[in-house]
Amino acid sequence: MSEHMQVKETLQDGETYAGVILGKDGQPDQHLVLLAGEAHEVSWTAAREWASGVGGDLPNRRELALLFANCREQFSRAWYWSSEPQEPRAQLVWGQNFTSGIQTMYGRPFRGHARAVRRLAIE
As for how many domains the chain has, the answer is 1
When comparing pLDDT for 2 and 117, which is higher?
Answer: 117
Q: Distance between CA atoms of 49 and 16, rounded to whole angstroms?
A: 21
pLDDT > 70 in the chain, percent: 94
Q: What is the pTM of this model?
A: 0.91
pLDDT tens per residue, range 83-122: 999 988 889 999 999 999 999 999 999 999 999 999 999 9
36: domain CATH number is: 3.10.100.10
Contacts of 27 (CB under 8 A, 6+ apart): none
Domain containing 83 equals: 3-121
| pLDDT at residue 90, rounded to an integer | 83
* pLDDT above 90: residue 9: no
pLDDT band of 1, cuts 50, 70, 90? very low
pLDDT tens per residue, range 34-93: 999 999 999 999 999 999 999 999 999 999 999 999 999 999 999 999 999 998 888 999
Among 26, 40, 23, residue whose Cα is nearest residue 115: 40
